[in-house]
Amino acid sequence: MEQFIDLRALARVKDLALVARAVATGFLQGLHESELRGVGIEFSQYRSYEPGDAPSRIDWKLFARSDRYFVREAERESDISLWLVLDASDSMALRSEGGVWSKFEYGRHLVATLAYLAIQQGDQVGLLLVNGSESQVLPPLGGMRQWYRLVNVLEQAATSGTVASSAELMRDLVQLRQSGLIVWVTDLYQYRTEIESAVKTLVTSRNEVAVLQLENTDEIRFPFQGAVRFEDLETGEQVVANAAKLRKTYLAARADWQRAWDLALGRSRISVDRINVDEPLDESLMVYLRRRGKAL
C-alpha cells in the first residue's frame, strides 16, 4: 500500500519551496517513469549545475574531465511549455471545517510541485495568477532559477476579489496560445459563460488545456447541522438556512452544476479533474498524473 504525506505534517512547514521539493522528490521516487512521460526529449546543450537540480541530470563523465558540474539541458521536439494558471479570487480562500489548507493554499503548493516536476523533466514553465485586480504573469523559462522565481511569486500572492472579466481574461490568456500544456487550477466559482468564452481562445491544434478543480470535504458532503449562516466570500452576501433541510437540494444543485461545467469545457476539448484539498497532496498528484499518463 502506498504511503502518502499527511497534510497536517506539510502544513507545519511554512517554507513553500521546501514542501514542494519534498513532495516532488518523494513522488518521483515512487513513480514509474512512463507515468510522467510527455512529448519526446532530445539532448541540446550543457549548463552549469544549479542548487536543486536532480543529481541524475549531472553528466558525470564531463565532471571527471573538467572537475565541474554540468547538467544536460533538454530541448523538446518543438517549442513546448507548461503554463500554470492559478485562480486567486476570494472564493479560493475557502477552508473546510477542521481543514488544514484553504483551496488557495493547497493550489499554491500544487502549482509549485507541478512546476518542479516539469522543470526536472526539462520543460519550460510559466505562471499566470488570475484575480479581480491586476493579474501577474511569469513568462515560461527552464531551469531551477525559474522555479525559484515562480515560488517567490506564489509566496507573495494572496486572494483578492472576484475572477477577472472575460475581456480581462482574454487579454492575459492570449500570451498562453503557444505549443504546450495549460493547466488551470481553480474552484470554477465563476460565471460559466465568461470562462468558457475565454478558455476557447486557448484551445488550438498545438496545445492542450486541462482544468484542476479544487474542492473540499464540506462542499462535497455538506455535513452541516442546524441553522447555519453561509457567506459568499467574493460578494459578502449571507444567508441563514436550516442545513438539514437544505442538504438534499444543495447536493442535487451541485451535481447539476458540475455536469454543466463538464459539458461546457468538454465542448472545447478541455479535461476536468477534481481534487479534494483535504486529501494528501502527493496522492492527488499521483492520481492525476497516472490518469494523464494513460491518456497520452
Residues 81, 114 contacting (CB under 8 angstroms): no
pTM of the model: 0.78
pLDDT at 76: 44
pLDDT at 2: 46
pLDDT at 164: 59
Q: Where are the domains of the chain?
A: 7-36+78-295, 40-77
Taking the C-alpha atoms of residue 125 and residue 183, their distance in angstroms, rounded to an integer, is 11
What percent of the chain stands above pLDDT 70? 70
pLDDT at 4 over 60: no
User: For 288-294, what is the mean pLDDT?
Assistant: 72
Which of 175-189, 200-214, 217-231 has the highest mean predicted lDDT (pLDDT)? Answer: 217-231
What CATH number does domain 7-36+78-295 carry, 3.40.50.300, 3.40.50.410, 3.40.1390.30, 1.25.40.20? 3.40.50.410
Q: If you average pLDDT over every residue of the chain, what do you get?
A: 78
Q: Express each pLDDT in 54-82 by its tens digit.
A: 776 777 766 666 667 777 655 444 446 88
User: For 180-209, what is the mean pLDDT?
Assistant: 77
pLDDT at 125: 92
Residue of 199 and 255 predicted with greater confidence = 255
Q: For the chain, what percentages of helix, strand and coil (3-state, to nearest 5) are there?
A: 45, 25, 30
Specify the residue for cell string 541524475: 56
Q: Express each pLDDT in 270-283 by its tens digit.
A: 888 999 999 988 88
Taking the C-alpha atoms of residue 104 and residue 161, their distance in angstroms, rounded to an integer, is 13
- Other CB atoms closer than 10 Å to residue 152's CB: what's the count? 13
